[in-house]
Amino acid sequence: MPTISRRTSGLGTENAFVVLAEVNELVRAGRDIVSFCIGQPDFPTPANIQDAAVRAIREGRHGYTASAGIDELRAAAASYMGRMRGISISPADVVIAAGAKPFIAYTILSVTDPGAGHEVIYPNPGFPIYESQIAVNGAVGVPLHLREARGFAFDPEELESKINERTRLLILNSPQNPTGGILDAGALEAIAAVLRRHPQVWIYADEIYSRLVYEGRFHSIASLAGMAERTIISDGASKTWAMTGWRIGFAANAALAPHFVRWITNTESCAAQVSQWAALEAINGPQHAAEAMRESFLERRDLIVGLLNQIPGVHCRTPGGAFYAWPNVTDACHMIGAEDSEVFRRRLLAEAGVAVLADIHFGQRVPGEGQHIRFSYAASPQAIETGIERMAEFIRSNTKH
């Protein structure tokens, strides 16, 4: 048989989908599983957005669009992202893709060259596609550790220590997956102060959870002096309006937009036209459904954090955004004789029927930070209560006395 390339063999994955496959197999076998592994809203897409898609279908909007997206959506996304960040964004600087995820690869491809030793600094723990896309596209990944004591932010001095003449890109994610951490205004200003001393570094601002901030308001590094022109703002429809399967993301940067368009032409051609018209309604239409989802996530956040902190051996910081909890289970692992969080996760699924992800699914463990697991609390309150009670009983019944 012909061989498979080393690039393909070494390509990473998103382990949430790997664990989801495990869960589905158990469910098919008749197991009762409470799953917290997938990060997507459990709400239907709002009815007005569905109706806009149906209208688009009936009106014959079925064909290709320009690779950059339909003009109406580019204009709406420019206005929306600008309002959220207090800056002015031109529609010409906005590009639409099949989800926000492709912009990770398009950015790395646009600012680094394979074989040149160009480095990309990325958050650890972090969305696993950062690391896999850095590697597969021939750049050098440099993990930047997030610290629990800092609210799962990083030390700006540690950032500066990792920048050198080969550094081309810094990836920021706020609100953050998997920790739910937030880069507040003070943290972002400290980061910007470092970056002003290193003008060769682009910034990829993954802000897909920008509407899911629970205290205060959302802040973007793009709003700070000298940062907008070197920041790729990445946002989209998936999380805010429960449109994960519609696959619509948007990115903004004046210098890179034309290059993103060429990458899209070479890969996906364009985002689905029907989904683009639906996203236009999502941005311009009523926002009460999106706000109701946010309020529900806030209630669920408070519920799951409160319940987790009642379990012996578990402590969980309150996340500032997104819909993820990142409890520290170091003591719980010791109590039940689990070697680490991955053993804990596997046993929790097999013995208690609760599906979560382990910290190693989001990068190397941060030295000195202990063991963590991730819950997506985009699940019903009943599921949260049932799942956490099962976890508590699992720890109680397996504690070594």
Whether residues 30 and 133 share a domain: the answer is no
Task: Kindly indicate the confidence band of residue 401, based on its pLDDT and cuts at 50, 70 and 90.
Answer: low
Sign of the torsion angle spanned by Cα atoms 279, 285, 289, 294: positive
Sorted by sequence, the CB contacts under 8 Å of residue 247 that are 6+ apart come out as 98, 99, 238, 271, 272, 275
Can you give the pTM of this predicted structure?
Answer: 0.96
Residue 257: which pLDDT band, with cuts at 50, 70 and 90?
A: very high
Residues 325 and 354 placed together within one structural domain of the fold:
yes
- The Cα-based distances of 91 to 74, 188, 257 in angstroms read 5, 25, 10
Is-cis flag, bond preceding 175, omega within 30?
Answer: yes
> What does the alpha-carbon distance between residue 348 and residue 55 come to, in Å, rounded to a whole number?
46
In a domain, 359, yes or no: yes
Number of domains, the chain:
2
State in Å, rounded, how far the first CA of the chain is from the last one: 55
Percent of all residues in the chain with a pLDDT value above 90, rounded to a whole number: 92
Label the pairing between strands 357-358 and 373-376.
antiparallel
pLDDT at 386 over 80: yes
pLDDT digits (tens, 9 = 90+) for 337-378: 999 999 999 999 999 999 999 999 999 999 999 999 999 999
Claim to verify: residue 95 and residue 232 sit in the same structural domain: yes
Residues 206 and 340 in one domain: no
Tell me which of 7-11, 153-157, 231-235, 337-341 is least confident.
Answer: 7-11
Q: How many CA atoms lie within 13 A of 90 on its CB side?
A: 7
Q: Which domain holds residue 345?
A: 6-44+289-398
CATH number of 363's domain: 3.90.1150.10
Distance of CA 57 to the CA centre of its chain: 30
